[in-house]
C-alpha cells in the first residue's frame, strides 16, 4: 500500500511540476526581484490560485476556450497538445504562478515570453456563418476571450469549492485584470458583473462555435493520456468542471450533467473530497512558488504574512 501511495503521489507531482521529486528551476527564481509584484499575501489572487480549485478551473477554462473557433484553431494547428499535453500544462502553470507570485519584472518577462511564442500562431477559420475569418493568438479581442474564459472558470470553481475570497469575487476579477493587460487585453473587465456581460456577448453575438474540432477537444479533455493511477481522480475532477458550466455552454460542448458511478454520487461532494485528497498528497501549507514569493517579501522588508512593512507594523 505504501508503494502504491508513493507512486500515486509521484505521478501527481509530475503532472503539476514535470518532475516526481525536483522543483522546476523557475520556481526558486520567484524569490528574485526588487519589488513586491502585482499581488500580495491576503489578495484575492493569492487566495484563489493558492487553493486546489484551479485544478477544476483549469479544465473548465479549456472547455470554454475551445468554443471560440479562433482559439481552437490556434491550438489544433500550432500546438502539440495531443502528443505532449503535460508540457503545455507546465508552461501554463509557469505563467500563472509567475504573474501571481513573481516580481513585476518576472511577470512582464513571463508574459512577453508567451506572447513571443504566440507570434507565429495565426491563420484562418470558418466562423458560424461559414465565412473565412483570420485569427492571431496575439489579437487583443482573441486574447480577451481567453482571459475572460480563464477568469470565469477560476472564479466559478472557487465559489463552488473554495474558501472565502478577500474582497469578494470583484476583487479577484479586478486584480487578475493585470494579467490580461500583460497579455494584450485592452480594458479587461474589473467586476464580476462586467465579466459575465462580456462573456455572454460572445454567446449572444454568435462568436462561439461547436463543431467537430470542439467535439474532438472535449473527447481529449475527457480522457487525456494520464497514468492509470490518476485516471479515477481525474474523471471526478472533469465531472466537477462539467458540473460548474452554465447550461448553454454545456449544451454547446455536447455535455450533460455527470453521474458518477452506479450510485450517482453527488458530483459537488465527490469533487470536494478529491480536491482534499490531492491537497494532502501535494502537502499542506504554502507551495514552493508562494514560499519563494514570501522570501522575496521578507528580503524587501515586508512581513510575509500580511505584506505590511516591518518598520510600520505595530503590536496589537
214 within some domain: yes
pTM exceeds 0.85 for this model: yes
66 within some domain: yes
Residue 264 has pLDDT above 90, yes or no: no
77 within some domain: yes
Q: State the average pLDDT for the chain.
A: 87
Grid cell locating 269: 461532494
Note the pLDDT of residue 5: 60
Note the pLDDT of residue 9: 65
Residue with cell 475570497: 165
**DSSP calls for the chain:** -HHHHHHHHHHHHHHHHSSSSPPPTTTGGGG--SS--S--TTSHHHHHHTSSTHHHHHHHHHHHHTTSHHHHHHHHHH--TTT-HHHHHHHHHHHHHHHHHS-HHHHHHHHHHHHHHHTT-EEEEE-TTS-EEEEETT-HHHHHHHHHHHHHHHHHHHHHHS-PPTT-HHHHHHHHHHHHHHTT-SS---SHHHHHHHHHHHHHTT-----HHHHHHHHHHHS----TTTHHHHHHHHHHHHHHS-HHHHHHTT-----BTTTTB-HHHHHHHHHHHHHHHH-SS--HHHHHHHHHHHHTTB-TTT--BGGG----
User: For the segment 189-215, what is each residue's pLDDT rounded down to a tens digit?
Assistant: 999 999 999 999 999 888 899 999 999
140 within some domain: yes
262 within some domain: no
141 within some domain: yes
Residue 307 has pLDDT above 60, yes or no: no
316 within some domain: no
Domain hosting 219: range is 23-227+285-307
How many folded domains does the chain comprise?
A: 1
Amino acid at each position: 500500500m505504501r508503494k502504491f501511495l508513493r507512486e500515486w503521489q509521484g505521478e501527481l507531482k509530475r503532472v503539476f511540476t514535470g518532475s516526481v521529486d525536483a522543483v522546476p528551476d523557475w520556481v526558486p527564481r520567484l524569490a528574485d526581484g526588487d519589488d513586491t509584484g502585482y499581488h500580495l499575501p491576503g489578495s484575492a489572487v493569492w487566495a484563489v490560485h493558492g487553493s486546489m480549485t484551479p485544478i477544476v478551473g483549469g479544465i473548465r477554462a479549456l472547455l470554454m476556450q475551445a468554443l471560440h473557433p479562433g482559439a481552437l484553431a490556434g491550438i489544433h494547428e500550432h500546438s502539440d497538445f495531443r502528443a505532449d499535453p503535460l508540457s503545455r500544462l507546465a508552461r501554463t502553470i509557469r505563467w500563472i504562478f509567475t504573474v501571481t507570485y513573481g516580481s513585476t519584472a518576472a511577470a512582464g518577462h513571463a508574459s512577453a515570453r508567451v506572447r513571443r511564442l504566440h507570434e507565429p500562431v495565426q491563420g484562418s477559420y470558418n466562423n458560424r456563418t461559414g465565412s473565412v475569418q483570420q485569427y492571431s493568438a496575439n489579437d487583443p479581442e482573441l486574447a480577451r476571450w481567453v482571459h475572460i474564459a480563464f477568469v470565469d472558470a477560476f472564479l466559478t470553481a472557487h465559489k463552488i469549492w473554495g474558501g472565502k475570497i478577500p474582497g469578494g469575487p470583484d476583487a479577484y476579477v479586478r486584480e487578475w485584470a493585470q494579467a490580461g493587460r500583460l497579455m494584450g487585453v485592452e480594458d479587461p473587465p474589473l467586476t464580476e458583473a462586467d465579466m459575465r456581460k462580456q462573456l455572454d456577448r460572445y454567446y449572444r453575438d454568435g462568436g462561439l462555435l461547436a463543431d467537430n474540432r470542439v467535439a474532438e477537444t472535449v473527447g481529449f479533455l475527457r480522457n487525456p493520456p494520464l497514468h492509470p493511477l490518476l485516471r479515477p481522480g481525474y474523471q471526478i475532477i472533469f465531472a466537477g468542471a462539467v458540473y460548474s458550466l452554465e447550461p448553454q455552454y454545456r449544451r454547446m460542448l455536447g455535455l450533460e450533467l455527470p453521474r458518477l458511478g452506479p450510485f450517482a454520487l453527488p458530483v459537488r461532494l465527490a469533487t470536494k473530497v478529491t480536491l482534499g485528497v490531492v491537497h494532502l498528497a501535494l502537502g499542506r501549507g504554502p507551495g514552493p512558488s508562494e514560499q519563494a514569493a514570501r522570501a522575496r517579501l521578507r528580503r524587501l522588508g515586508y512581513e510575509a504574512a500580511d505584506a505590511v512593512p516591518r518598520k510600520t507594523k505595530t503590536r496589537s
